[in-house]
Chains A and B, each alone.
Chain A
C-alpha cells in the first residue's frame, strides 16, 4: 500500500487566491482526518469524516475553509480566499475502525505558504 497520499507537497500562493489540498486515504480505511500544524498551535484537528460523511467540523477556523469527501478514496480541503495566517503544514490522516481501535496513518503533508 502506498500509504496516505497528499498533493501537492508544497504550495505557495498569493493572498486572496483559492487553494485546494488533496488527499487519498489508505484503501479500506473508513475514517479520514484533516489536521493543521503550526509552531504556535501544534497539531489542530480541522475536520474528520467517517464513511465519507463529515462528523465533526468544529475545528474548521472559519467559513473560508471547506472540506469534501465525494468518495472513499478522495478528499479535498479548500481555502477561499487564502490569507497569510493560513500558512502551515496541512496533514491528512486515515484510520480503520471506530473509537479506540486504531491509530492514524498520516500523509506526508502539504506545506502551504500564503504571501
Chain B
C-alpha cells in the first residue's frame, strides 16, 4: 500500500520460536491498525487489531504493539506452530474508510 511499509517479506522460524513482523505508516491521523492472516488459497482473515488509545493488545499467542510516535506497529507470534505458516498483512487507513494493505510477510514455521 502507498502509506504502509511491511517487513520482512519472508520469515522462517523454528517451531516454538517467536516471530515478529513490523509495519510503518505515514498517516499521523491513523488510529486503527489491523492484522490479517491469509492461508494458501484462502481469504485474508482479521486476526487482531489495535486502536491508538492502547500500546499493546494480546490474544493468546499473538500480540500487537503500537508506537504512535515512531509510526509503527508490530505483530508478535510466540510459541509458533506449523499452522501459523501463512502470509500476514498489516493495513493502514487512508483518508477515507478504505484500507491499503502492506505487501505481506510469508511466514514459514519449520517443524
How many inter-chain residue pairs (CB < 8 Å) link A and B? 60
A interface, over-half SS: strand
Chain A residues with Cβ below 8 Å from B51 are 100
Question: Are A45 and B99 in touch, CB under 8 angstroms?
Answer: yes
Q: Which of A56-115 contact B (CB under 8 A)?
A: 56, 91, 95, 98-101, 103-109
Q: How far is the CA of A108 from the CA of B45 in the complex (A)?
A: 10
Looking at the complex, which of B13-21, B30-38, B55-63 is the stretch in contact with chain A?
B30-38
Residues of A close to B101: CB separation below 8 A: 35, 42-43, 45
Give the contacts of B89-108 with A (CB-CB under 8 A): 89, 91, 93-94, 96-104
Residues of B at the A interface (CB closer than 8 Å) are: 1, 30-32, 34, 36, 42-46, 49, 51, 89, 91, 93-94, 96-104
A43-B93 in contact (CB<8A): no
**CB <8 Å contact, A98 and B97:** yes
Instruction: Please indicate the chain A residues that have their CB under 8 angstroms from the CB of B103 in the complex.
Output: 42
Greatest chain A CB density within 10 A among B36, B46, B49 is at B46
- Which of A31, A45, A91, A99 contacts B44 (CB under 8 A)? A91
Residues of chain A contacted by B1 (CB below 8 angstroms)? 45
Is A55 positioned at the interface, with any CB of B under 8 Å from its CB? yes
